[in-house]
Amino acid sequence: MGIIKSGGIVIDAKESGETSKLAEIFTEQFGLMKVLAKGARRPESRFGAATEPLTLIQGVYYVKEDNGIANLSAADIVSPFQHTHDDINKYSYGSAWAEILVSNLPYSEPQKRLYSVFHQALKDLEDIPDEQVEKFFWAYALKFIALLGYRPEFMICSGCSVGKSDDWMFSVENGRLYCKQCSQSLRDSLFMRLDSGETRILSVFSTADRTVLERITIDEKQMKTVRDVIEGFRRYHIQPEGELKSLQFREKINKKND
């Protein structure tokens, strides 16, 4: 493959050897890549800041065919998303998005639509007010899950196609919505009860842009239900091993500060 160039978002970075970093970078042109940044932990290294997670870079990579790990040859920071890095709450949510992606993306397969949505999510996270952050996190998490191939349905009953009900049942198992009557015929599904307002919010989350998300009002009860549905669906289908570590860390920090 040789020398390649692409914009990319650093998903994760770990220490490698005495002075280097091994990073996972979601590139626009080539999908998820495992990248060795030699000497990145040295104080004078030009790769140090460019390999921080949740940083947008323009990179040049030397790709070897033997081990699947590219060498970082050059990197310019396009956006450090500094406000996100300076805010532990925002940084935790952004890192949780990265967890969802890195555990499900195949290596070296372009995912341009998903990359574009992730880039937009980080741009939105950078300057939205604190009270909007949780809402934006779960909306984009649902978009990522759908783009990874697990698109749930929140519009109509999958049994009888009715579009209106005050009492819905969402199947975590198959990602479909059912009216109460139709849900009774499905013996093996894991169901979560929703009202009409909650299904509307979930449907909006699936497609809404920033302008719509900023306008939509969600009370505490609705937010809890929406969070439980998305998190339950995520854990059942794409990350059954457990909770998002970044959100667990956020909760620990918040408890210490209370």
Beta bridge partners of 79: 56
| H-helix segments, 148-243 | 180-183, 196-207, 210-215, 220-237
**In 3-state terms, what secondary structure has residue 90?**
helix
CB hemisphere CA count around 127 (13 angstroms): 3
The whole model's pTM is what? 0.93
**In 3-state terms, what secondary structure has residue 108?**
coil
Residue 255 confidence (pLDDT):
72
On whether the CB atoms of residues 45 and 39 are closer than 8 A, the answer is yes
Beta bridge partners of 13: 23
CATH homologous superfamily for the domain 2-80 = Nucleic acid-binding proteins (2.40.50.140)
Flag whether pLDDT at 188 surpasses 70: no
Render the burial of 201-225: b for 16+ CB within 10 Å, e for the rest.
bbbbbbebeeeebeeeebeeebeeb
Size of the chain, expressed as the number of residues it contains: 258
Q: Please state the separation of Cα 237 from the chain's center in Å.
A: 14
- The structural domains of the chain, with segments of one domain joined by +, span 2-80, 99-257
42-88 pLDDT, tens digit each: 999 989 999 999 999 999 999 987 778 999 999 999 999 999 999 99
Domain 99-257 class in CATH: mainly alpha
On whether the CB atoms of residues 34 and 59 are closer than 8 A, the answer is no
pLDDT confidence of 257, banded at 50, 70, 90?
confident
Residue 1 confidence (pLDDT):
63
